[in-house]
Structure 1
């Protein structure tokens, strides 16, 4: 299956927040408009081997916005309660298949995915890694990512996309000025 959603932000909850692409810009795009899209996100980035088909993306979008608020602060009491409620949902359970492969199971995979995402966000904001969460410097992007570079000075969510765009734009501006 070709990748539909962006990943590589450094944490699953950061990849999840990116489903509101170009947040805060005129180009903002909702990538989870319905249950089909939410299921596709789980299928691409979640731990389940079987396709997940949730009826709606309403809870996913509510969690995404709560995670975004948590990461960018300040956090309202209602948001904290929402995050805690999602984190308390049953999480997927690992099991070993006869083939020796690790499989993840849940009675309700979509709810279990919400639990994983909420737990990941809560773990991130209470860890030393949180100091390395950055906003992409790309003028049209705004995605959050975990800066795992040794000096902690990474500027773009993706050098191949946002970094390359900025460098091309700078080069063109310099060339036009000469």
Structure 2
């Protein structure tokens, strides 16, 4: 992306995290997937860059919260395609055939994204760790693709769950010891379910 007159990063929405894997957090940018209420949280380049800044290692742009970005519809479309390919790989990982039964095009799309250079670590004059990239979007999406490949080619894919809240259905990695986590977030979906259960019990008395 090159600087131009366009939306600024500060205007973009805040994104949900906490799925347990970078690639699963990326999947959550299509909220309420598969329903009539589906919300695209990455509609343009500004939103995509905002997700990268919030969720990736490169951190805020310089100057903070004021970096103008050019609109790059092709890069946004590529990000959407990567997200859907990752979603297919992760969900099919639970099937009988596993990831091997996924389509060649889906695997290659993720593989191509993983080939891109990733953010580079460096230490600054204060001794702090910083991450840089010539293209922070491409570099962060490369991390997403590599994380997805690591996930679906390991036993960790068996820990991926779908949120039990039917209005959410977001995927998350169940890293709890018993492996019986039901909600992607106890603060939102879990609390909503508890309140619904309490109302039902109250109505029954």
TM-score, scaled to structure 2: 0.82
Match for residue 121 of structure 1? Answer: 148
Shift of 1:154: 0.2
Q: How many residues were matched structurally?
A: 178
Decide whether the 8 Å contact of 1:24 with 1:142 is kept in 2.
no
Q: Which residue of 2 aligns with 1:108?
A: 135
Structure 2 gaps of 5+ residues are 1-9, 62-66, 93-100
Correspondence 1:55 to 2:45: no
Q: How much has 1:55 moved relative to structure 2?
A: 3.2
Q: Secondary structure at the match of 1:111?
A: helix
Contact 1:134–1:146, Cα closer than 8 Å, also in 2: yes
Deviations 1:72-103 (A, max 9, x none): 12521101010110000111111111111111
CA RMSD, Structure 1 to Structure 2 (Å): 1.7
Q: In the TM superposition, what are the counterparts of 1:148-163 in structure 2 within 5 Å?
A: 148-163=175-190
Q: Check if 1:29 corresponds to 2:39.
A: yes
Aligned to 1:95: 122
Q: Tell me the TM-score normalised to structure 1 length.
A: 0.94
1:25: Cα distance to partner? 2.1
**What is the aligned partner in structure 2 of residue 64 from structure 1?**
83
Q: 1:132, 1:152 within 8 Å by CA — same for their partners in 2? A: yes
Aligned counterpart, 1:164: 191
Runs of at least 4 residues off by over 6 Å: none
Cα deviation for residue 126 of structure 1 reads 1.4
Q: Distance in 2 between matches of 1:3 and 1:37?
A: 7
**Which stretch of structure 1 is more off in the superposition, 46-55 or 28-37?**
46-55
From 78, 81, 84, the equivalent of 2:108 is: 81
